[in-house]
Structure formats: structure tokens, C-alpha cells
Amino acid sequence: MNKSRSLKTEILLRLAIPLIFFMSIETVLSYFVTLHHVNVAYDRWLLDSARSLTEGIKMHEGTVFVELPPAALDIFKWDELDQTYFKIISEEKGMLAGDKFVPEPLTQAMNGVSPIYFNDDMYGEPVRVVSILIANGTQEKIFVHVAETLNKRRGMMMDILLADLIPQVVLVLLIGLYLLAGVKRGLQPLRVLADEIAQRTPRDLRPIPEQHVFLEVRALTDTINDLLERLAQAIVTQERFITNAAHQLRTPLAGLKLQAERALREQDVTAMKPALIHIQSCADRMSHLTTQLLILARSEPINGGYELRQLDLCALAKNTCMDWVPKALQRQMDLSFEGFEQPLYVQGDEVLLRELLANLLDNAICYGRDQGNIVVKVERHPVPRLIVEDDGPGIPDIETDRVFERFYRIPGSSGDGCGLGLAIVKEIADLHQARLELSSADETGGTRFELSFEAKQNVLDMLN
Ligand SMILES: Nc1ncnc2c1ncn2[C@@H]1O[C@H](COP(=O)(O)OP(=O)(O)OP(=O)(O)O)[C@@H](O)[C@H]1O
Ligand SMILES: [Mg+2]
């Protein structure tokens, strides 16, 4: 339903269409039932009239004749609403009395003793006719046909149908009005709620009060409340993040300013050099921090700056390792890769997964031991896994949770990192619904990070 329609109209339509449909069926049915009963009742009278005429059929010396006194005829014809006509016919002699235009049924139908009723036209008007066969003791067949216009029957039909229909229509109207009033009353709390929410300031993310809300609407308010809660949390996190980021950027900026002033004070270029080296390292730090912040922003689900598609985890890990070999060599470290030639497909964002591995390698090189070993492994079973292991001092158990916090660095850590690397790793892992585990390497006691892709991602692997 793309066009929004009011609930009241919806209810009215849903109620009115079937009701009108069923009422029409009911009316048609009751028309036929009423017609049947009205005919049964008036046909009996019509038959009585026909029988009353038989008294005027006489026999004299074997000849049949009709003798109807005017008074008897008056009684026969007397009717306020309808015209009544008759015709008495002898099979042998033909017309004996009455009006020759009175319709007759087919003669074959007239063999039985029971009367025959049928509808026909007479003088351009519809009539109901009854025909009876009289046995007068001779072989001669005498037929009496009586026709009557339909005014009484129509009147009676109308009365019965209206008596049936009017209460039904009134009842339907009353039910409709009652339902509309009910819907209006039922929706009132929602209107109050909408007014209440409309008056809020953008920072007012309190949950919607649910005490006056109907159970059916509660599913909706629950969802909105849930969303409001998450939104409030996201805003708090964002605010904290911005404060931290600003703080982190201020330090190298202050360093830059200080060193620039120092350099400016020096006359001699050689004397400026230490300050310039400092400026360079401050700029490096700022550029690193800015890069980390941008990656973090990109890996936040709320920003949607990623695209998951099928990629070969093996190739990705191998290529990234190759990029980091020169940096490992600077510390005389041995960076090795253990994987396989066949592709191992997972659903992922290539840039973000590279960043994840880059941060783990950067840490391993930065915090591992000189001339140490770093191993990157890709495993296929039971689920696709990426493992980065070093033989450095490792991360103490009490720090294993905190190291994933944004801007947290273990006190006394070497290098000038900004404490965002592992937060980025965690964020990217979550985005891929992958499980991230930090433990200590079995043999060396160094650090081991393991990223396992969920079983549902495995389906792709099996298909390939
Ligand atoms: N492989 C590792 N071995 C030992 N300690 C580690 C290792 N990886 C991380 N750590 C510790 O965890 C802390 C957090 O690491 P993280 O990568 O989040 O921040 P960082 O390296 O200080 O800064 P950034 O990576 O943003 O430049 C580091 O300060 C370091 O003390
Ligand atoms: Mg780091």
C-alpha cells in the first residue's frame, strides 16, 4: 500500500464491501423465499375463487351449461386491489362463460386432478392464473381458468422485504458508527503520544512512555524505544570519541607549534635540524592519527562506508604480508606466511580487511622482540581463519579487554601509537561478524590474534 489511507476509511471499506455483498445475496434469497410464500398464500385464494365458479356449472338433459347469478359474479370480482377474470371451457363445446382472453396452460399439462398455477400476461398486464379440471360425472372435460393481476402480491412482497431490509440497514449503520467512534477513541492515545514526541528537542531521547499504549502498538513503541536507546548510546560514544580525538590531535599540534618556534629562534640551519626532525615526527604522528581516525570512521556500521563482497582471504593476507616485509626487516624480524594456493573465499570488504591485518602486523613489528618471528596463517577448517602470531612479550591477561578500547595504550608501550589500532581491528571484525580472539602463542608466549569467520560465511567456501 504505497498511498497512505486513514485507518477509519480502511475499516469502513473492509466492513462495507463484504456487508453490502452479503446483504445483496441475502436480499435476493429472501426475495425468492418471500415470493414463494406469497404465491402459496394467494394461490390458495385464487383456487377458492375458481372452485366457487364450479357451483355455476350445471347439467340439463346431458348438456352442460353455466349459470352464474350476478350477485355471485359480483362476489367473485370483488377486490379492491386486483382485477379478476375467468373462463369456463368445455373440451367439446368450447367457451361456456367468461373472458376469452384469460390465458390457458398447455392442454397436456391439464390431465391431472391437481390445479395448475402459472404466470402470464393479459391485457398487457402480468397475471397469475389457476386452471382446474372438473369431472362432472360425464366423459366431458370442463376447465375453469381464473386470472388475477398481481397488485396484492406485489404489495405484500414489498411489505415483507422492507420489514426485512430496513432493520438490517439500520443495524449495519449503527455498527459502522459504533466502530468508527471506537477506532477514533482507540487511536486517541497514539495522537497524544505523537504530540508528546513532536514537542521534544532533538537531544531528548527518553523512552516513549508505554502505560497508555495498547498492546498492539507496544511492539512499535518497544522497537522505537530500543532504537532511541541505541541512538543515545551511539551519541555518547561519538561524543567521547570526538573529545578523545581532539585531545589526541592537540598533542602533536602543540609539539609542532613548539618546535617550529624553536626552529625559528635558531639562526643557523644546522642548529635548526633537531627541531625540524621533531616537526617531522609530529607531522608523521598526526598523519598516522588522521589515517587511523578515517579508517575507524569507515569501519563504523552507522556510516555504511564499506561493501562486503566475495574475496580470497589467502591472496589478501599474502599480499598484505609482502607489503610489510620491508618494515619487519628494519627490525630484523622474520615475517612468514602460511596458507595455500587455492583461494579461500569469504564475504568481506577488501580495504578494511587489509587495514585489520596491517594493524595487527604493525603491532607485532612494533611490540614484538628484535629479530623475532611473526607468522601469518590462513586456515580453512573448521571455519576460515586468519591468525597473526608473534614471539614478543605478549599482552598481559589483565589488559586483554582494555587494549581494544579506543585510545587505550598499555602504560609504558614503546612507539608513538595513538591506541586506535586494536579498536579498529575489533570494529572491522564485528562488521564482518567474525570472532576475534586474543590469546598467547603456545610455544613462545607471544601474542596471538585469531579472526574466525562465521559458519554462514563458510557456505561460500563450500560452493567454490
Ligand atoms: N602484538 C603485540 N604485542 C604486545 N603488545 C601489543 C601487541 N599489540 C598491541 N599491543 C599493546 O596493545 C596496545 C594497544 O594497541 P593498539 O594497536 O590499539 O594501539 P597502538 O599500537 O598504541 O596505536 P595505533 O595502533 O593506533 O598506532 C598497545 O599500546 C600495545 O601496548
Ligand atoms: Mg597499533
Handedness of CA 207, 208, 210, 212 (dihedral sign): positive
Residue 314's domain is classified under what CATH number? 3.30.565.10
Q: What's the gap in Å between 145 CA and the centre of ligand 1? A: 116
Ligand 1 binding pocket includes 391 (Cβ within 6 Å)? no
Same domain, 425 and 316: yes
User: Between 259 and 193, where is the model more confident?
Assistant: 259
Query: Residue 382: is the preceding peptide bond cis (ω within 30°)?
Result: yes
Same domain, 154 and 91: yes
Q: What's the gap in Å between 399 CA and the centre of ligand 2? A: 14
Q: What's the gap in Å between 358 CA and the centre of ligand 1? A: 12
User: Between 73 and 119, where is the model more confident?
Assistant: 119
Residue 259's domain is classified under what CATH number? 1.10.287.130
Q: Is residue 207 part of a domain?
A: no
Whole-number average pLDDT of the chain: 86
Contact by Cβ (8 Å): 221, 210: yes
Q: Which bound ligand lies closest to the C-alpha atom of 420?
A: 1
Q: What is the pLDDT of residues 81-122, one digit of tens each?
A: 888 999 998 877 888 888 888 898 876 666 667 889 999 999
Residue where a domain stops, chosen among 281, 299, 317: 299
Q: What is the pLDDT of residues 129-179, one digit of tens each?
A: 999 888 766 667 888 999 999 999 999 999 988 998 898 889 888 988 888
Ligand 1 binding pocket includes 364 (Cβ within 6 Å)? yes
Same domain, 291 and 312: no
Residue where a domain stops, chosen among 268, 299, 330: 299
Q: Is residue 181 part of a domain?
A: no
Atom of ligand 1 nearest to the CA of 363: 8
Q: What's the gap in Å between 91 CA and the centre of ligand 1? A: 124
Q: What is the CA radius of gyration of the chain?
A: 51
Same domain, 351 and 415: yes
Same domain, 320 and 292: no
Pairing of strands 373-379, 334-338: parallel
Same domain, 280 and 348: no
Q: Which bound ligand lies closest to the C-alpha atom of 291?
A: 1
Q: Is residue 196 part of a domain?
A: no
Ligand 1 binding pocket includes 402 (Cβ within 6 Å)? no
In the chain, the number of structural domains is 3
Q: What pLDDT does residue 202 have?
A: 84
Q: In angstroms, rounded to a whole number, what is the distance separating the alpha carbons of residues 355 and 297?
A: 13
Q: Which bound ligand lies closest to the C-alpha atom of 362?
A: 2
Same domain, 320 and 458: yes
Handedness of CA 244, 247, 251, 257 (dihedral sign): positive
Q: What's the gap in Å between 68 CA and the centre of ligand 1? A: 128
Same domain, 295 and 422: no
Q: What's the gap in Å between 420 CA and the centre of ligand 1? A: 8
Ligand 1 binding pocket includes 418 (Cβ within 6 Å)? yes
Same domain, 380 and 281: no
Contact by Cβ (8 Å): 332, 371: yes
Ligand 1 binding pocket includes 395 (Cβ within 6 Å)? yes
Q: Is residue 174 part of a domain?
A: no
Range of the domain at 225: 215-299
The pTM of this model reads 0.60
Q: Is residue 193 part of a domain?
A: no
454: phi then psi, degrees, rounded to nearest 5: -60, 155
Residue 456's pLDDT band (boundaries 50, 70, 90)? low
Q: Is residue 264 part of a domain?
A: yes
Ligand 1 binding pocket includes 372 (Cβ within 6 Å)? no
Q: In angstroms, rounded to a whole number, what is the distance separating the alpha carbons of residues 372 and 391?
A: 6
Q: What is the pLDDT of residues 28-64, one digit of tens each?
A: 998 899 999 999 999 999 999 888 888 888 877 777 7
Same domain, 48 and 74: yes
- Write out the residues surrounding ion ligand 2, Cβ under 5 A: 363, 417, 421
Q: Which bound ligand lies closest to the C-alpha atom of 424?
A: 1
Q: What pLDDT does residue 138 have?
A: 66
Closest residue by CA, ligand 1 atom 31: 410
Q: Is residue 388 part of a domain?
A: yes
Ligand 1 binding pocket includes 244 (Cβ within 6 Å)? no
Q: What's the gap in Å between 404 CA and the centre of ligand 1? A: 9
Q: Is residue 350 part of a domain?
A: yes
Atom of ligand 1 nearest to the CA of 422: 18
* Residue 443 pLDDT exceeds 60: yes
Same domain, 315 and 340: yes
Same domain, 338 and 398: yes
Atom of ligand 1 nearest to the CA of 388: 1
Ligand 1 binding pocket includes 290 (Cβ within 6 Å)? no
Residue where a domain stops, chosen among 299, 316, 331: 299
